[in-house]
Amino acid sequence: MSERRRTPRTSPRQAAVIPVRRTNSGVEVCIIRRKGSSKWGIPKGFIDAGDSRKQAALNEAYEEAGLSGHVVGDSIGTYDYEKWDATLTVVVFLMEVLEEEPEWQEMGFRERRWCSLKEAAALLKNHRAWPLFDRIRADLETASRDAPLRLSRPPQ
């Protein structure tokens, strides 16, 4: 029986974003999945050498979902998951989407979906980032269409 290697929880090795946009009917969240999969998630990937955590998160949103924008505030938290016999830590940011490409790098095997906050909460309920999303959801529900997007309180 093989023993799982666990990486020390020192610094996140991956970065992710919860991409949002404001519409006349409120805030929408963009979620992604591999085509043919039933599991929805958020853009995430490894932090490349030379990139900040925020830049890595923005890069993943562009590569995996064709989204450009800016990070709102600081990290909203981290989560861990198992992959390749290691525990990986992911730092998560809130991203305000300013542009959406009709074609993007990974569109051949990924799909994106815009949905309401309520629908996103239901579809991400079993995702490890869900507690972080749930923590900021009230701020997103009350976001003004005309004011800068921000979190009213720092995430825990």
9: pLDDT strictly greater than 90: no
Q: Residue 24: its pLDDT value, please?
A: 86
**pLDDT computed for residue 153 by the predictor:** 57
Helices (H), the chain: 53-65, 117-123, 130-141
Cβ atoms 92, 75 nearer than 8 A: yes
- For residue 89, the cross-strand partners are 80
pLDDT tens profile 41-91:
999 999 999 999 999 999 999 999 999 999 998 999 999 988 878 888 999
Task: Give residue-wise pLDDT tens across range 88-145.
Answer: 899 999 999 999 999 999 999 999 999 999 999 999 999 999 889 888 888 888 877 7
pLDDT at 151: 75
Residue 5, pLDDT score? 46
Q: Which of 91, 1, 99 is nearest to 44 (CA)?
A: 91
Q: Which fold has domain 14-141?
A: Nucleoside Triphosphate Pyrophosphohydrolase (3.90.79)
Q: What is the pTM of this model?
A: 0.87
pLDDT at 154: 52
Q: Which of 31, 53, 18, 14 is nearest to 131 (CA)?
A: 18
**Token pair for residue 35?**
């085509």
Q: Tell whether the model's pLDDT for residue 11 goes beyond 70.
A: no
**Cα 105 from Cα 73, distance rounded (Å):** 27
